[in-house]
Every structure is written in C-alpha cells, then in structure tokens.
Chains A and B, each alone.
Chain A
Amino acid sequence: MAEITKLVHKYLRHDKKFPHVWCPGCGNGIVLGAMIRAIDRLAYRKDDIVMISGIGCSGRLPVYVDFNTLHTTHGRALTFATGVKLAKPELKVIVVMGDGDATAIGGNHFIHAARRNINLTAIIINNNIYGMTGGQYSPTTPYGMKATTAPYRNIEHAFNIAELAVTAGAVFVGRGTVYHARLLDKLIEKAFVKRGFGVVEVITHCHTQYGRRNRMGDAVAMMQWQKEHAVRVEKAADMSEEELKDKFTIGVLVDRDLPVYTEQYELVREQARDSIPS
C-alpha cells in the first residue's frame, strides 16, 4: 500500500458507509488530505481532536474521519466550537466551513470568534459558490460572474475572506489553494499549532456548479487557473497594483500574538475565586 493510502486508512472511519457525497474532481478531498497529513505530522491523538463543520458540501468533511466529529447547522459551526473549546480547553478544535457558511449566514460568528481570539483553527473552503444547494452566488462570487441566482451577472462585490479575518483580529491567517498542495499542508499545520484563532482560507474549485456556468472548464482547468492567478505574498510585496489586478495572494498573511481567550478566562477564574469572602 502506498504511504498516502496507508495514512488515509489510518484516519478514515471504517464503519462509515461510502461512497462519499462529493463530485468526482471536487477539491474538498484535497483539503481533507492536507488536514490529515498535518494531524499525523503533529501526532495529535484522535481522541483529542474535535472536528466541527457547518452545512454545505464542505460541511460533509468530518463525517468520514475518525475523530470526535460534529456537523452543526448552516453558519453556526464556530458557535458550537466555542462551547466545546470553553468546556474542555484541552481539546484540539478544528472547524471547517464553506464560503457561504463562514461569511454569509455565519459572517457575524466568524468576525466575533476572530475578535475573541478563541483558541481554535478555522478552515474555510472557498469555492466562490453555494455548492450544495446548486450554484447560487455567495459572498465570494466575483463581480460579473454567473450563478443560478445571478443568471445575468453578479453585481455584488466579493469578500476577501483572509483580509476580513486579519481585520477582525485573527492571530494567524493563511491563504492557499488546492493546487498548491505542499503550501496548503504547511499553512494548515501552522494554523493548528498557533495559540489563538487561526484561519486558513483555501481557494478551491467547484467545477460542477461554478466552473461550468462560467465556462472555466473541468477540475483540472480550474486548478490550472489557481496556479496562474495565485501569487506568493512575499512576491506580491514587490508587484504593482496593476500587476496584481487579477491575482490573489497565497501564503501567510498574518502571524502575531495576542492574549488567548481560554487562557484569559483561566485568569478570570482565579480572580473570581479570590473574590469569594472566606
């Protein structure tokens, strides 16, 4: 058995009925693979990991893997995750969300989790569309593109998810693509070990719902597009606005240290205990 297959089998649930729900060629599996590789490298115990998702194609990701898994409601994954983490801070909490999940219906929870610096990792699978419901436009569907609910063209402007996370206060923010697999592995690993709210935005393709409607070709062609439009942050620093016009940056956007919620709360508890009259 190839190394990679062995690794997958080590973490897949063997009592789960397959096949999975994703279209052939979907990028979600690549993201799951990157997460598993990072978990394995870091030698986390399966019992210590809680993988939490929202609703969407991306939301189906945890069901296949042998951790404590929680498939919540649309947009609310971070709220459930906040409860899990605060009740048992020793658990490693990983949240997976879609672009619609994290920044439309769950946008408020996203910025507040970042602001609080709650100690968990948020992975946002950005395919620029509502995949599961059949290709309606999302907050990251680019201006001018088509979707089932923007049959003429999308006249709204897209969120830059990673920048949003930076502004909201996330201590680690990375952006990768499913094409740049090795970078993705590294970003996810960095986010996992970061103390505080770490975000990885993963640019991926939904060839079925987004690519087809916008004549972007199949999964391979869309990954080719990722390759051609992604620029390393280090390189982007030396490029002009004009040169960066159709591009997006990949790499580590922010890596900083701020007080972590669970640690702060521990101090509050001490203060509270001291306040009890003896």
Chain B
Amino acid sequence: MARKKSKKKPRLLQGNEALVEGALAAGCRFFAGYPITPASEISEILAHRLPQMEGTFIQMEDEIASIGAVIGASLAGAKSMTATSGPGFSLMQENLGFACVAEVPCVIVNVMRGGPSTGLPTNPSQGDVLQARWGTHGDHPIIVLAPSSVRDSFDITVKAFNFSERYRTPVIVLSDEVVAHTRETVVLPDPDEIEVLDRIKPSMPPEWYIPYEDTSSGVPPMGIFGDGYRYHVTGLIHDIRGFPTMRTDEIEPFMRRLFRKINQSFHDVQIVHHFMTEDAELVVIAYGSVARSARRAVLDAREKGIKAGLLHLVTLYPFPRRDVVATISDAKAVLVPEMNMGQISREVKRVNEGMSRVATLNRIDGSMISPQEIYEWLLKEA
C-alpha cells in the first residue's frame, strides 16, 4: 500500500471533535449513544463518520441501552464507545459494572456538566469524579482519565482505548464542558505516529481455551463471538471457565485478579504531567480544564519569583499516589482547585498523611476556575 500523504495541518477543533478523531484513530468502529448536552457533538460526528469506514453508529433509546450495545459490540470484536453527561452517566452505572466483571473493553466518555440531577446542562463541572470511581456497585478497579485541552482530548481518547484493550476493562474519559466546547488550533498526529493496541485474542485450539484463566498480566486472552471460542459471559461472579460460582476458593482469586491486573500496571496507566514542580514550595494539583488555569497561574507566580509548580493529573484513577506523595512531601502548601466541593482533594489529603498543608479551592456556581483565583492563593501563601 502506498504511504499516505501526511494530513498534518493545523485545524481549528473543539474538544469533542478532537475526542472523536482520537477514538477513530484508536480504531473505534462502534458507537451507541443518546443525545445530551454537552456531549451531543460526539454522537453527531460519529453518525456521519463511522458508516464511511465500515463502522456502526446507533442512537439507542436511552443510556442504559447505549452502554449495553457498546458491551455487546465489543464482545463481537468491535472497539466500542459511548458518550454522555451526568444524567446519562448515572443511568450507565449498572452496566459499567458488568463491563468490569465480564472484562469487556469499552470507552465511556462523560462530558461533565453541573449537577446533581438535570443540573446545569451547559455549564462546566467536575462533580462526577467520585462517581466515575465508585458509581457502579461493588468493589472494582477502574481507569479514569481527564483531558484538559483539545489536543489532550485526542491523545487521551487514544490512551483510553489502548488501556481498555490491554487490560480488558472499561475506561472512563472524564471531559468537561470547557474542554469539550473550547475551540483551539491543533495539529493532530498522523496514524503512523500513534501507538494503537488491540486486545489479545486466544491462539490455542478452542478446546484448550479457558476464558478466565489467570495469566502473569492478570489479563486472559479474549475470545470474540463467532471466532470459534464458544464460552459463557456473565455478570455473575464466575470461575475460570466463565460459569457462575459461589465457591469461596474461586471467588477470591477472581476478585483479586480483577484488581491485580490494574494494580500491577500503575507504571503504565498512571499519567501525570509535572510543570515546574522540581523545586516547588507551593504545589497546585489540578486536572481537566482547571489544570490549564493552574498552569497560567504558576507561570505568573514564577515571574514574581514565587516557587510554584503544577502537578497535572491526567489519570485520576487508579489515583497516582506515588507521584502525588513525591511532589507534595517537601511542599510548604498544596492547593487542589476543583469545580466541585472537593473530590480529588479528598484523595490528596488521604495520601498526604499530614506531610503538607492541603488547601482547596472550590467552585460550584457553574463557572470555571480562573488563573487569577489560583494566582491569588499562590501570592497569599508565598
């Protein structure tokens, strides 16, 4: 095949548009969704694009159905995604747990808007962080990633697909209204510059296939419906063959493996960006669109000679404890600005164990946190 000409040219894109480009570049070929602001553009663009590339788009009757279809499509071999906002994300929680326990790769985008309930449909928020972590019932590990810019929306969606395939797990992309609707000029990478991972499929003869057998990675190869590896998929806790079990000696290893496959991969899945943290006495820990305000504030503070730094969390869960602890242990004070009443700040306080003083800056009025607000705190603490 002839090498395609580089399509690299600057494009003016919204976060939601870049997110779609990332999904398609990662190999997403199935999307099911239900309209909701501020995520609707994702559906609209994919309704247009997917059928052009042998993919499938369907608008389902609600968000429960959307995630159900996404899980089904993934079991049949398609990389699959859905996108929603708070009210729809709440409806998805039960089936999200199904994807965790049946180990079905899929990507769930939640473009956060103000809540609770119908809340503030067109205003940003970061109110769903803990829901993303704990929203579905029962103990389970989960991967949650938060883009902060248009370019990020592309890169992080690619990562989300890669993680979901590599670890056979749902991955949640927590965008927010500001990231989703801001337009920026970006240059997106060419396909050959992107690492795209696919799930590991069984290679042994079907009669040897044990669908939920432990492996060193904790991730068993995934049989695809129709490929000859007939097996049982269930939301019940199951034995290594996939059949429901109530035996303690089968339940425990299964649950442990679910956690282990993520826990032993922190080095891969925990993404953070350090910005001037090396000698920082005042550390800001931020994510999503707030991380950009924080970056500006840190730059302004540095100009005033204040030793400020930003730890930008891309991975919210599994919570990047090691990076956070290393960054804040010598800090004079730490600020966690969030568009909620304090959700990631709880995690920071939990791992801080009294080492540093942790302050919060919370906005819940539907507007974003400005660089000025963070800068003022840095000035005050300096």
Contact = CB atoms under 8 A, between A and B. Distances in A.
Nearest to A16: B243
Given A62-B232, A73-B235, A86-B73, A91 B68 contact: no
Contacts of A84: 72-73, 75-76, 225
Nearest to A63: B232
A46 B230 contact: yes
A27 to B, nearest CB: 21
A79 B65 contact: yes
Contacts of A83: 30, 32, 68-76, 80
Nearest to B230: A68
B72 A70 contact: yes
What band does the interface of chain A fall in when counting residues whose beta carbon is under 8 Å from B?
Answer: 35 or more
Contacts of B65: 76, 79, 82, 108-109, 112
A63 B60 contact: no
A25 B64 CA distance: 35
Contact of A272 (B30, B52, B72, B226): B52
B254 to A, nearest CB: 16
Interface in B234-261: 234-236, 241, 243-244
Contact of A72 (B76, B78, B98): B98
Nearest to A88: B76
B13 interface: no
B94 interface: yes
B62 interface: yes
Contacts of A70: 72, 75, 225, 232-234
Contact of B77 (A88, A109, A276): A88
Nearest to A59: B234
B226 A88 contact: yes
B165 to A, nearest CB: 15
Contacts of B29: 87
A234 B34 CA distance: 42
A243 interface: no
Contacts of B71: 72, 80, 83
Nearest to A118: B58
Interface of A: 13, 15-17, 46-48, 50, 52, 62-63, 66-73, 76, 78-88, 90-91, 108-109, 112, 265, 268-269, 271-273, 275-276
Interface of B: 29-30, 32, 48, 51-52, 54, 56, 58, 60-62, 64-78, 80, 94-95, 98, 225-228, 230-236, 241, 243-244
12 contacts: A16-B243, A50-B76, A50-B226, A62-B232, A71-B233, A79-B69, A81-B72, A84-B75, A85-B72, A87-B74, A108-B62, A272-B48
Given A87-B30, A88-B77, 6 more contacts: A17-B243, A70-B75, A70-B232, A83-B68, A86-B69, A87-B73
